[in-house]
Amino acid sequence: MAELLRVEGLRASYGEAVVIEGLDLALADGRSLAVLGRNGAGKTTLINALIGAVKSSGRVTLGGVDLSRLPSHRRARAGLGWCPQERNIFRSLTVEENLTAVALPGPWNLARVYAMFPRLEERRANMGGQLSGGEQQMLAIGRALMLNPKLLLLDEPTEGLAPAIVDELLAALKRLAAEGLSMIVVEQKAAKILRFADEAIILNRGAIVVRAASAALIADEGALHAHLTAAG
């Protein structure tokens, strides 16, 4: 399977505070990766560094194209789709305007996004600010898909949502993974995300301390408990 993403010597910081130092990572095309870790482990910083939303150095390549010096909008055009933790939808635009404002040519279009998230089609004329939290998250994912990305980055897509909405979103992500869309998903709900992610990494203090197939981690509850349970 061809390599899609390669990260070499990634260093990311906020001012003088270095969060990630010397991280290496590779992901094959068509694979999904769960990023796990305690709060403050560097999960969101990793996603922000890949998209160019935080000060970073090192080398990031996508499909052999070096993204390291590109601003966020050019990384998006090169094939990175991003759903930030804050969602960042356009609250004063309609659902349909949110989706079409960023659309790039490819198989993902309005009809396909609406088929994935029928709620969005029902609310297509509503302003983004009129949507519930779950609907806003669906819109954020739909908007990222309209970029027709090679790699979809999702940061805590189920945070703060009702259990029924969480299940609906995770089912959508499972379908995307089954269709072969490459994804990196930061998620606190390890048990649920590991059910469909091909593999996972666990971060601690900005470093990868575990990388394993999801099935192996599911079977090794001790490793998950040791690395994900908050320190006393």
Question: Could you list the residue range(s) of the whole structural domain that residue 35 is in?
Answer: 1-79+184-232
Please report whether residue 198 resides in a domain: yes
Q: Describe the crossing of helices 163-178 and 133-145 by its angle, rounded to 10 degrees.
A: 10
Please report whether residue 209 resides in a domain: yes
Please report whether residue 132 resides in a domain: no
Please report whether residue 150 resides in a domain: no
Strand partners, 127: 94
The CATH number of whichever domain residue 224 belongs to comes to 3.40.50.300
**Model pTM above 0.75:** yes
**Tokens 């990766």 found at:** 33
- Checking if the pLDDT of 232 tops 50, the result is no
Please report whether residue 125 resides in a domain: no
Q: Measure the CA–CA gap between 167 and 14, rounded to whole angstroms.
A: 34
Q: Measure the CA–CA gap between 4 and 16, rounded to whole angstroms.
A: 31
Amino acid at 21: E
Question: What Å distances lie between residue 232 and 187, 189, 228, CA to CA?
Answer: 21, 20, 12
Please report whether residue 152 resides in a domain: no
The total domain count for the chain is 1
151-155 and 80-83 beta bridge pairing: parallel
Please report whether residue 203 resides in a domain: yes
Looking at the chain, the whole-number percentage of residues with pLDDT higher than 90 is 87
Residues 177 and 197 sit within 8 Å (Cβ to Cβ): yes
- Checking if the pLDDT of 31 tops 80, the result is yes
- Checking if the pLDDT of 231 tops 80, the result is no
Please report whether residue 9 resides in a domain: yes
- Phi, psi for residue 22 in degrees, rounded to 5: 70, 35
- Checking if the pLDDT of 29 tops 70, the result is yes
